[in-house]
């Protein structure tokens, strides 16, 4: 019997790539998503890649009644909880929306899991919980909780909620995964990141400059104390990240209790290095200009990725050039994202 995995937010960028890996590893994903930042076309793409169209139920995770019905009618082994809003700028404008959607959905989910005696959960956290890191690379034991925006605050609060729950209920297996910067796309060119409006994040901005949708990239700051003055991040290929979730499920099967992992590459790449890697990988020039720093940005953020390697066997396969090639392959084949 295949294990059923409830994937909240499973039509989104990271969720959809994880669903593909789950199917290929013989799990049976059951997707719930309210489509606030995704499209059902993703299901057709998953079918094209895997031969399987996963079950999808449209619902908001905060809808306790609908969510309960999903648990009642399935035999859920574990939940991977991707559902959430993630735009830092929007969270500053609409903090209540972020508290309600991200924290509220997790509260409802945990309540329903308890009702149906489901004890296994993997949660999408973020390197943002480290705030402005005191050192790089960042270890899981480094201080968390100095958030700089409501989005980050929701991740910190949900982590606290899960840690508290693990103490109250020793039967719970809880994996908190702190993602660094996911980019790239499925190598088929059928799935990738499809942001609404003008992208906030670097890679989708770069690909939209490359495809001619946007005139030039603004590089936010070249006076940071980094190798070339531009911000340094740990860019991880979304397929590597997706595989990290499958490995985490294998860990959960061993009843580990509470576990926390950085999912990153351990390599810091500057904005200029990423732009040059993109140009080299794809033979396209990216027009850019230097502008002032973006408020809230930190100079450097990259992982020490040893713990996930030691305990999960997690090792990234793709480097920054692979990421740039796959992001571009997705964008050029789907200039309008999942829209026709």
Min dist. Cβ of residue 136 to ligand UFG (A): 13
Six token digits for residue 174? 């809880």
* Residue 202 touches which member of ligand NAD, ligand UFG, none, C-beta under 5-8 Å by kind: ligand UFG
Residue 284 or residue 298: which is nearer to ligand NAD going by CB? 298
Neighbours of 277 (CB within 10 A): 20
Residue 101 binds ligand NAD (CB under 6 A):
yes
* Residue 162 touches which member of ligand NAD, ligand UFG, none, C-beta under 5-8 Å by kind: none
Q: Which stretch binds ligand NAD (CB under 6 A): 12-20, 245-253, 295-303, 313-321?
A: 12-20
Residue 233 binds ligand NAD (CB under 6 A):
no
Catalytic site includes residue 99: no
Q: CA-to-CA distance for 316 and 307, rounded, in angstroms?
A: 13
Neighbour order of strands in the sheet with 269-270: 269-270, 232-233, 300-301
Residue 322 binds ligand NAD (CB under 6 A):
no
Six token digits for residue 324? 């740039």
Which among 279, 238, 319, 265 has a CA at the least distance from the CA of 18? 238
Min dist. Cβ of residue 28 to ligand NAD (A): 19
Of the candidates 27, 98, 130, 151, the residue annotated as catalytic is 151
Say what angle helices 104-115 and 64-72 make with each other, to 10 degrees: 40
**Would you tell me which residues interact with ligand UFG (CB under 6 A)?**
86, 88, 126-128, 179-181, 200-202, 205, 217-220, 231, 233, 271, 294, 297
Q: Which stretch binds ligand NAD (CB under 6 A): 32-40, 130-138, 214-222, 304-312?
A: 32-40
Six token digits for residue 305? 């990725």
| Binds ligand NAD by CB under 6 A, chosen from 126, 226, 230, 331 | 126
Matching residue, tokens 């030691």? 310
Q: CA-to-CA distance for 109 and 79, rounded, in angstroms?
A: 9
Min dist. Cβ of residue 262 to ligand UFG (A): 10
Six token digits for residue 290? 């230097």
C-alpha distances in Å from residue 277, one per residue of 46, 182, 216, 271, 323: 28, 16, 17, 10, 9
Min dist. Cβ of residue 285 to ligand NAD (A): 26
Torsion of CA 193, 48, 1, 75, to 10 degrees: 50
Residue 234 binds ligand NAD (CB under 6 A):
no
| Binds ligand NAD by CB under 6 A, chosen from 19, 67, 105, 144 | 105
C-alpha distances in Å from residue 36, one per residue of 4, 125, 141, 187, 240: 24, 19, 34, 25, 25
Residue 106 binds ligand NAD (CB under 6 A):
no
Residues that bind ligand NAD (CB under 6 A): 8-9, 11-15, 33-38, 60-62, 82-86, 101, 105, 124, 126, 179, 181-182
């Amino acid at each position: 019997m295949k294990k059923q995995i409830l994937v909240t937010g499973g039509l989104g960028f990271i969720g959809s790539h994880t669903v593909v890996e789950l199917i290929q590893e013989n799990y049976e994903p059951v997707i719930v998503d309210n489509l606030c930042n995704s499209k059902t076309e993703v299901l057709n793409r998953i079918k094209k890649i895997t031969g399987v169209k996963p079950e999808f139920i449209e619902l908001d995770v905060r809808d306790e009644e609908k969510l309960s019905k999903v648990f009642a009618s399935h035999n859920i082994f574990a939940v991977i909880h991707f559902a959430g809003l993630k735009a830092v700028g929007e969270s500053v404008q609409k903090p209540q929306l972020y508290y309600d959607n991200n924290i509220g959905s997790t509260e409802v989910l945990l309540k329903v899991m308890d009702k149906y005696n489901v004890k296994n959960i993997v949660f999408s956290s973020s390197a943002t919980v480290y705030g402005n890191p005191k050192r790089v690379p960042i270890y899981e034991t480094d201080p968390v909780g100095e958030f700089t925006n409501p989005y980050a605050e929701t991740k910190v609060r949900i982590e606290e909620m899960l840690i508290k729950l693990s103490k109250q209920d020793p039967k719970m297996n809880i994996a908190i995964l702190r993602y660094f910067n996911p980019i790239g796309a499925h190598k088929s060119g059928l799935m990738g990141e499809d942001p609404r409006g003008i992208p906030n994040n670097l890679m989708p901005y770069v690909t939209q400059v490359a495809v001619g949708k946007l005139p030039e990239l603004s590089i936010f700051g070249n006076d940071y104390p980094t190798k070339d003055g531009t911000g340094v991040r740990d860019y991880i290929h979304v397929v590597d990240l997706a595989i990290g979730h499958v490995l985490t499920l294998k860990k959960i099967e061993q009843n580990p209790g509470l576990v926390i992992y950085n999912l990153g590459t351990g390599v810091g790449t500057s904005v200029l290095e990423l732009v040059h890697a993109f140009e080299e990988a794809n033979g396209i020039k990216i027009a850019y200009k230097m502008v002032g720093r973006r408020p809230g940005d930190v100079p450097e953020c990259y992982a020490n990725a040893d713990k996930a390697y030691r305990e999960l066997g997690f090792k990234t396969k793709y480097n920054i050039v692979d990421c740039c090639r796959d992001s571009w392959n997705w964008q050029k084949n789907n200039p309008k994202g999942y829209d026709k």
